Amino acid sequence: MKGLKLNKYKLLELFAPVFGFIVSLLILLLVVMLVGERPGKVFAAIYKFTFSTTSRLATVFSIAIPLFLAGLAVAFAFRAGVFNIGVEGQYFIGGMVGAMAGIYLKMPSFLHIPMVVLASMAGGALWAAVPAILKIRKGVHEVITTIMFNSIALALVNYLVNGPLSGVEPGTNLEAQTRHIRDTAMFGTLNHVFRALGLNIPDHVYLDYSLIVAIIMGFCVWFLLFRLRYGFEVRAVGTSTDVAKYAGVRIGRVQIGAFLFSGALAGLVGLQEIFAIRGFYTFEIASGIGFDGIAIALIGRNSPIGVVFSSIMFAFLKQAGYGLQLYTSVPNSVIYVITGLMILIIVVSNEVVMRYIRSLRKKEAV
Amino acid sequence: MEMFFDFILKGLEMSSPIAFAAIGAVFSERSGVVNIALEGIMIITCFFIVWGAIVFQSIMMGLLVAVLAGMLIALIHAVVSVTFRVDQIVSGVGLNILAFGIARFLSQKIFAQEAQSEINAFLFPQVMGISVFVFALIPITAIAWFVLYKTVFGMRLRSVGENPDAADTLGVNVFWMRYAGVLISGGMCGLAAATLYPSQWVSGMTSGRGYIALAAMIFGRWHPVGAVLAALLFGYADTFRIMFETRIPIPGQFVQMLPYILAVVVLAGMVGRSRAPAADGLPYGKGEE
């Protein structure tokens, strides 16, 4: 009987994200009709870009990898009550440190690849360190400092790629970029594995080693949060700092650790683009993924498993946006509108559901 | 000498969008609502001042449209964070993404370009090389100070941010006061847009000024005059960057970091010496502990 009731609450908690997703899609439909497109044409465009072939579907999963890592980074910090908006800057710096390890270190491949992964994590954690320390020691709210650090990171890598780390031969007319990463540090793809499983994924779709990294990190975060004492402390701090304090948790230490680990996870966001797709570093690696990560974490309710689903859904939305851009008169930016709305609807309906659950529990207690 | 005057005036112009937004932020936070959506609201107001001016062929109408648009977006923040008591930062982040999308979407549909609008020729007249509207900052700062500290409304607004329970007991409507604070901050973003290149909307033109305005408000100790003075600091730092970037022997990218590093340093040095309103950032629910 008790187990049944728990399940009821769990189901109610799932209501908010599902409701948010559905309402957002309905709004998308409304916008589409206001713009004067036929819904049929719009759905055809979305279908064509997302589900129509194995290759398209695989692309959705491919772009979900960096999104997952970004969402995981934000979610982990959230769990400890830290709002890490700095994922953007952290992966720009993390990617650069990783790329440097890939360019300037010489070692066999089986060492070099873990090395660049660790270097990227170190870079991301490094960039999170100052906002983390300022938050704990000085009480400066991390939202403003991390946003400032995003801008600083962008200018910094812009300088480094154009200056000391530039790998562009004088006279050639290439965009600013570093030297090429050594072959020993380059990520192979897993496409042959999927082919062996009967899924024919063409070579231009990147299901590369960063997928393995993402799976390992997802498992690590789950294990840390739900199986270790530290994870319990993280969740306690995130739920209520007062209660955690009375229970003897050292809040500052827990939050600094979570902030740094979140930065380390963020450092991994650029892996796919740098080590599998481009093979060099440029400040023009895809931007905005850090902010997508906030939406993904919120929609995934800050749990590693939730983030798996929400990052795939987000990748689907992104691809759908490109489809709309190409085949209809609905601009790609509608996806940002939908994302913003989805966040707002989810948090509002979540609040309403939580209040409802609380009142149910009160009644049960009586 | 001429360059010095140029620097003083240009600096004032560069400071005023941050200053207007920071004054607005003071009202919002004094009522107890953190408004991180300032950045997104500014994106929207910058778009609508250009659109309004072009459509009605008058910058005053553009300003009116921008103020209304700013208040409308702010209203969403108020509904989500005051009525539904959602975490104010989460609501602000969601709104920023939404605003970014709305501006680009409208630009694509109205001006057939996603990242920039048409040129708007209806501008405020220039005085000494800068927009005359910049000088409105002085009376508006004075009015903001007067409203906050010398009127019943201002006192109630501040009481709601300090101790909503007590204010509620004394018959102050906490919700309406907080709505007012947030809506004022949205309207002020409309004024900010009037001094931030109203000749054309370009995606990304606000470049973090909404967040800088928040930093200015904190540095200004949640006081309108303090916030404006802090905004001047950031505005002049930015003007210095623009005017002297090419003459300084250090790489341009480091000069570009200046306002952001300044914001972090200022915030790090400030804390402990200033205090946020006691109920700032906390949702208020009647009869809840």
Instruction: Determine how many CB atoms are found less than 10 A away from the CB of residue A104.
Output: 12
Q: What is the pLDDT of residue B250?
A: 80
Please compute the mean of the pLDDT values over residues B263-289 and round it to a whole number: 76
Do the beta carbons of residue A98 and residue A278 sit within 8 Å?
Answer: no
Q: Which positions in chain B touch A241 (Cβ < 8 Å)?
A: none
pLDDT mean across residues, chain A:
89
d(CA B150, CA B217): 20
Q: What is the pLDDT of residue B35?
A: 93
Name the residue in chain B with its Cα closest to that of A24: B98
Percent of chain A with pLDDT strictly greater than 90: 49
d(CA A337, CA B36): 18
Percent of chain A with pLDDT strictly greater than 70: 97
DSSP state of A136: I
Answer yes or no: is pLDDT of A4 > 70. no
d(CA A165, CA A157): 9
Using pLDDT thresholds of 50, 70 and 90, give the confidence band for residue A6. Answer: low
d(CA B178, CA B184): 10
d(CA B268, CA B258): 15
Do the beta carbons of residue A91 and residue A270 sit within 8 Å?
Answer: yes
Facing B271 at nearest CB: one of A140, A148, A338: A140
pLDDT mean across residues, chain B:
90
pLDDT tens, position by position, A110-139: 999 999 999 999 999 999 999 999 999 888
Using pLDDT thresholds of 50, 70 and 90, give the confidence band for residue B56. Answer: very high
Answer yes or no: is pLDDT of A249 > 60. yes
Using pLDDT thresholds of 50, 70 and 90, give the confidence band for residue A1. Answer: very low
3-class DSSP assignment, residue A80: coil
pLDDT tens, position by position, B150-203: 999 999 999 999 999 999 999 899 999 999 999 999 999 999 999 998 889 998
pLDDT tens, position by position, B202-215: 988 888 899 889 98
Answer yes or no: is pLDDT of A173 > 80. no
Using pLDDT thresholds of 50, 70 and 90, give the confidence band for residue B147. Answer: very high
Least confident of A188-197, B2-11, B22-31, B277-286: B277-286
Using pLDDT thresholds of 50, 70 and 90, give the confidence band for residue B255. Answer: confident
Q: What is the pLDDT of residue B289?
A: 43
d(CA A235, CA A350): 19
Can you say whether the dihedral through the CA atoms of A136, A138, A139, A143 is positive or negative?
negative
Q: B237 forms bridges with which residues in the sheet?
A: none
Task: Among A230-239, A283-292, B64-73, name the most confident range.
Answer: B64-73
Q: Which positions in chain A touch B260 (Cβ < 8 Å)?
A: 148-149, 151-152
Which residue's structure tokens are 């209501």?
A15
Q: Is B203 left (phi over 0), alpha (psi -120 to 50) or beta?
A: beta
- What are the percentages of helix, strand and coil residues in chain B, rounded to 5? 70, 0, 25
d(CA A295, CA B203): 21
Do the beta carbons of residue A276 and residue A206 sit within 8 Å?
Answer: yes
Rounded to a whole number of angstroms, the distance from the CA of A362 to the nearest CA of chain B is: 14
DSSP string, A259-315: HHHHHHHHTTTTHIIIIIIISS--TTS--SHHHHHHHHHHHTTT-HHHHHHHHHHHH
Residues whose CB falls within 8 Å of the CB of residue B179, separated by 6 or more in sequence, listed in order: B75, B78, B82
d(CA A311, CA A304): 10
* A302 contacts chain B (CB < 8 A): no
pLDDT tens, position by position, A9-60: 777 777 888 888 888 888 888 888 888 888 888 888 888 888 888 889 999 9
pTM for this model (two decimals): 0.88
Q: What is the pLDDT of residue B251?
A: 82
Q: Which ipTM score applies to this complex?
A: 0.89
Distance in Å from the first CA to the final CA of chain A: 17
Facing B101 at nearest CB: one of A130, A149, A337: A337
Please compute the mean of the pLDDT values over residues A152-160 and round it to a whole number: 92
Least confident of A98-102, A163-167, B189-193: A163-167
Q: What is the pLDDT of residue B273?
A: 60
d(CA A316, CA A345): 19
Q: Is B123 left (phi over 0), alpha (psi -120 to 50) or beta?
A: beta
Percent of chain B with pLDDT strictly greater than 90: 60
Taking CB atoms and an 8 Å limit, are B264 and A130 in contact across chains?
yes
Q: Count how many pairs of residues, chain A against chain B, have C-beta atoms within 8 Å.
A: 129
B155 burial via Cβ count (<10 Å: 0-12, 13-18, 19+): middle
Name the residue in chain B with its Cα closest to that of A34: B109
Q: Which positions in chain B touch A351 (Cβ < 8 Å)?
A: 84-86
Answer yes or no: is pLDDT of B287 > 80. no
* B211 contacts chain A (CB < 8 A): yes
Answer yes or no: is pLDDT of B114 > 70. yes
